[in-house]
Structure 1
Amino acid sequence: MRADAKKNYDHLLNVARTVFMEQGSDASLRDIARRAEVGLGTLYRHFPTREALLEALLRSSFEALAERADELQAADDSAAALMEWLQEIIAFTHEHRGVIAPMVSVIEDHESALHASCVSLRAAGAALLSRAQADGKARADLDGAELFDLIAALAWLREQPSHASRADRIFGIISGAVLNTGKSIARR
C-alpha cells in the first residue's frame, strides 16, 4: 500500500472508531467520510462494506482480547481469570456501542469478514472456561458458545439505559451461576 493510501486507511479507521463509539455500529458511513475529510469513494475503496470497516476496526481489538485470555491462562486462580476476562470483554462491547449485534450474527456466518475474529475470540473465552472447569471451579455443563451468549446478553443489558444501573449486579449473579458447579443447566 502506498504511503498516502496507508495514511488515509489509518485515518479512516481512527475516525470510524470515534464515530462508532459515539453513535454505535449503525453510524453513517457518509458521516465517517465527512469527518475524515475524504470522499465517500475513498472510504469505499478501502472498505467496500460496513462489515469490512467493522472487521478492520474490531480485528485488532479481538486479537488483543484473545491474547489477554491467553495471558490469563497462566493466572493462579482460573475462576478469577475467567471472571476478569468476562469483565474486560463486556466493557469492550459496552465501549463499542452496537458491536454485540454484528458479533452475534456473524459467529455462524462463515462467509462474513468478522467470522474468523469472532470465532477466535469465542475460542479464547472457551479455553478460560475449560481451565476453570478442569480445576473444578466452573460448572461443567456450560460450553464456550453458551458463554459467548452470556457475554452478548450482559453487553446488551449495559447498552439499555433503563437497565444499565443493574448491569453490575446482574454480572455478579451470572458470575455466581457460571462458577456454581453444584447445579446443572436444563438442556432441551
Structure 2
Amino acid sequence: MSKEKSDRRSYTSPLRSNQKENTRDRILDTLAEIISEGRILDFTVKDVAIRAGISYGTVYRHFPTRESFLEALYEAASTIIAQSAPFIPQSLDDIPAMAGNTLKIFEEKANLVQAFTIALLVNNVKPKSRNQRDQKIQALVIENAPHLSAGAVKETAAIISHLCSSLTWTTLKQRYELNSEETTEAMNWALQVLINSLTGHEKD
C-alpha cells in the first residue's frame, strides 16, 4: 500500500466528527422530548429514529439499547450543567451558592433536565458523574463536621446531595407547583439550615 493511501485512510475529518456529534445531540434532544411526553416506558430505538428523521441503523450505532440511551441522556445533561455551573466546593458553606447556580441551568434546560430525572427514577440509572459528586459531598461533610459518626456522615451527605438534585427541583415544581423563584428559595433555605447546624455557625 502506498504512503499516500495509508495517510488518506488514517485521516479523520473534523467535519465528519462534527456531523457525528451533531447527530448524537439531535438523537438525545429527540429522546428528551419523547420522555417529557410521558413515554419513558414504551419508547423504542425505532421511535426515536422516526421522530429525529434519522435512519434506524444510525441511531442504533450510537445507542444500541434503551439503557445506553438513558445513560447518555444523563451524562449529556450533567456535562452541560458541569460546564455552566461547575460543582467544586471547597467547604460546605460553598454548596448553597453553587446549588443556586445549578438551579439556574435547570431552568434554562428544563426539558432536558426533566427527561433525565424521569429516566433516573424509572430505570434506576446510576451514572458515574453523580457518584463522583456524592463522594465529593461526603468528603466535605467528613472534613467540616469531624464530630459526626460514620453513619451520620453518610446520612447527612445523602440529604445534601438530594437537596442539590434535579429530583428535588422537579418535585417542588411539579408536585407542589412552586415557581422558579420559590423552588430556588426553598432548596437554598433547606441547604443553609442543614449546613449551619453542621458547622455550628450562622451566616449573615
Q: Identify the TM-score tier after normalising by the shorter chain.
A: 0.5 to 0.7
1:84 aligned partner? 97
Counterpart contact for 1:17–1:57, Cα < 8 Å: yes
Q: Which protein is bigger by CA-based radius of gyration?
A: 2
Which structure 1 residue ranges, 5 or more long, are not aligned? Answer: 108-113, 135-139, 183-188
Which structure 2 residue ranges, 5 or more long, are not aligned? Answer: 1-11, 147-151, 199-204
* 1:51 match: secondary structure: helix
Which amino acid is the alignment partner of residue 188 of structure 2? Answer: G
Distance 1:32 1:124, change over 3 A: farther
Q: Choose the corresponding residue for 2:193, options 157, 167, 177.
A: 177
TM-score in terms of structure 2 length: 0.58
1:122 aligned partner? 134
Distance 1:36 1:88, change over 3 A: same
Q: Choose the corresponding residue for 1:49, options 48, 60, 65.
A: 65
Q: For this pair of structures, how many residues does the alignment match?
A: 166
Work out the percentage of aligned pairs sharing the same amino acid: 19
Quote how far apart the aligned CAs of 1:42 are: 1.7
Q: Does 1:68 align with 2:82?
A: no
Q: Does 1:160 align with 2:171?
A: no
Question: CA offsets per residue over residues 152-177 of structure 1, 9 Å max, x none?
Answer: 55223244075232423321331233
TM-score in terms of structure 1 length: 0.62
Q: RMSD between aligned alpha carbons?
A: 3.8
Quote how far apart the aligned CAs of 1:82 are: 0.7
* 1:164 match: secondary structure: coil
More helix by share: 2
Partner Cα separation in structure 2 for residue 103 and residue 85 of structure 1:
22
Which amino acid is the alignment partner of residue 106 of structure 1? Answer: V
Quote how far apart the aligned CAs of 1:23 are: 4.9
2:157 aligned partner? 144
Question: CA offsets per residue over residues 39-65 of structure 1, 9 Å max, x none?
Answer: 123211210123312323433553563
2:125 aligned partner? 106
Counterpart contact for 1:15–1:35, Cα < 8 Å: no
Which amino acid is the alignment partner of residue 98 of structure 1? Answer: A
Counterpart contact for 1:47–1:53, Cα < 8 Å: yes
Partner Cα separation in structure 2 for residue 36 and residue 153 of structure 1:
27
